[in-house]
Amino acid sequence: MMTAIKGLLLACMMAVPAFGDAATILVKPGESLQQAIAKAQAGDTIEITRGRYQGNFLIDKKLTLRGINRPTISGENRGDTIRIISPDVVIEGLIVRDSGDNLKDQNAGIYIFPGAHRTIVKNCDLTYNLFGLWIEKSNDVLIENNLITGKREYNSSQRGNGVQLYNTQGARIIGNNISFVRDALYVDVSHHAIFRGNKLHHSRYGSHYMNSYYNLWEDNDSYFNRGGLALMEVRDQVVRNNRTWGNSDHGIMLRTMQDSLVENNVIAGNSRGLFIYDVEYVNIKNNLVVDNRVGVHLSAGSTRNQVEGNDFIGNREQIRYVGAKDEKWGVQSGNHWSNYLGWDRNADGFGDVSYEANDIVDRLNWRYPSTQLLLASPAVQALRLVSQQFPVLRVPSVVDPKPRMQPTNKQWRQWHGKHYPGQ
C-alpha cells in the first residue's frame, strides 16, 4: 500500500511544472521590447521577430535575447543601444546599431558593465556604433562570429574601438570580422584571454594590447590597417599562426615585451614587418617575413631573444638595427636571408660565412633612399660582397652565424605583392 501511495505522489509531482521554469516570450514589431525584458523572469528567453525596435535597452537579469530573421535594435544615435548589468546574459542573432557618439561616456552598441560575467554575444551585426562592444570588469565573456563596423565617415580619432576589453579575465574573442573603427581590438589590463580566427581590417590597429598577460593570439588576419598587431607593455603572450599583411606601418609591433612566443606567423607587404623595441626573453621562430619595405626594425636594447628558423625574403631592407654591439640571431638553427651572398661548400644547408645586416649597402640605403632602385644591380652586389671581405667601416649588426640556404616556408611566393592600397 505504502509503495503504491509513494508511486502516485511521484507521478503527480512529475506532472506539475516546477516553479520558476524558464519561459519563452515572443516579441513582435509594435510591441515593447523593454516591457518584455522587465516582465521576464531570470532564465527566460525573449525571441524577437524581424522588425525594428528603437530605444536604449537595459538587461538586469539572466536572459537570452534571440533574434528571429535578424531584427534590428536601434539606439537612435544616443547612449548605449544595449546595456548589460547582469551575469549570464546571451545576445544572439540581432542587428545592434546606432549608439551615441560620446567618447567620454564610451557609448557602445553593447556595453557589458562590471559584474556581467559570462555574457555571450554571438552571430550579431553591430554597426554604426561608437564602440562595438565595451567590456569592463566582466570575466569569461564570449564574443563569437559577429560582424562589427564603426561610424565609417568619422575620423579615426573620433571613432571608438570594435571590441574594448578593460580589466577582464578569461575572455574569448573568436571568429569576428571587425572594420572601420579606431582599433579593431583594444585590450587593456586583461589576462588569460583567447583571440582566435578574427579578421581585423581598415582600422588604426588591428589589435592593440596594453598591460595584459597570459593571452593567446592565434589564427587571426590583420590587413589594410595602419598597424596589424601592437603588443605593448606585455609578457607571457603566445602569438602564432597569424597573418598580418598590407598594413601601412608595421605588421607586428613588439614593444616592452618579455617571456613570450612569436611563431609561425606570416608578415607580408607591410612598411615594417616586425618592429621590435625594448624586448627581452622572447622566442621568435618559424615566421615568414616577406616583401616588406623593412623586414625588421630592431632597437632600444632588444636582446637576449631567440630568433630561429625564420624566413626573411624579398624585403627591400632586411634589418634596420640600431645598437651598440652585435646581436646574434640563429645561433642554434639559423634563419634564411634571401640577400645572403655566401656559399655552402659542404652542402649541409647552412652558409659557411655568417650573415650580417647593416653593411655598407644598407647604410647607403638609409642615407640615400633612392639607391634602393639599384639594389639588384651587379655593381651594388659586388660592393656588398667586398665590404664583407674588407670590413673597414663595419658597424654593429645583427649577425646570423649559420644562415639557412633555403627557406622553410615553401609557399612564400604567394605572399608577394600584398601591399597597402596605393603603396
> Is 208 a member of any domain?
yes
CATH number of the structural domain spanning residue 260: 2.160.20
Do residues 245 and 266 make contact, with C-beta atoms less than 8 angstroms apart? yes
Do residues 135 and 108 make contact, with C-beta atoms less than 8 angstroms apart? no
DSSP bridge pairs for 230 = 208, 253
> Is 228 a member of any domain?
yes
Do residues 248 and 423 make contact, with C-beta atoms less than 8 angstroms apart? yes
pLDDT per position as a tens digit, 361-410: 665 555 556 655 555 566 655 655 655 555 555 667 899 999 999 999 99
- The predicted pLDDT at position 1 comes to 45
pLDDT per position as a tens digit, 196-237: 999 999 999 999 999 999 999 999 999 999 999 999 999 999
d(C-alpha 296, C-alpha 293), whole Å? 9
What global pTM score does this model have? 0.88
Do residues 313 and 410 make contact, with C-beta atoms less than 8 angstroms apart? no
**Over the chain, what is the mean pLDDT?**
90
d(C-alpha 318, C-alpha 338), whole Å? 9
> Is 301 a member of any domain?
yes
Q: Computed over its alpha carbons, how large is the radius of gyration of the chain?
A: 27
Q: How many residues does the chain have?
A: 423
> Is 10 a member of any domain?
no
DSSP bridge pairs for 208 = 186, 230
Closest C-alpha to 70, from 53, 100, 50: 50
> Is 62 a member of any domain?
yes
**Total of domains in the chain:** 1
> Is 1 a member of any domain?
no
> Is 6 a member of any domain?
no
Domain residues for the domain of 154 are 23-415
| C-alpha torsion sign, points 386, 390, 394, 398 | positive
> Is 3 a member of any domain?
no
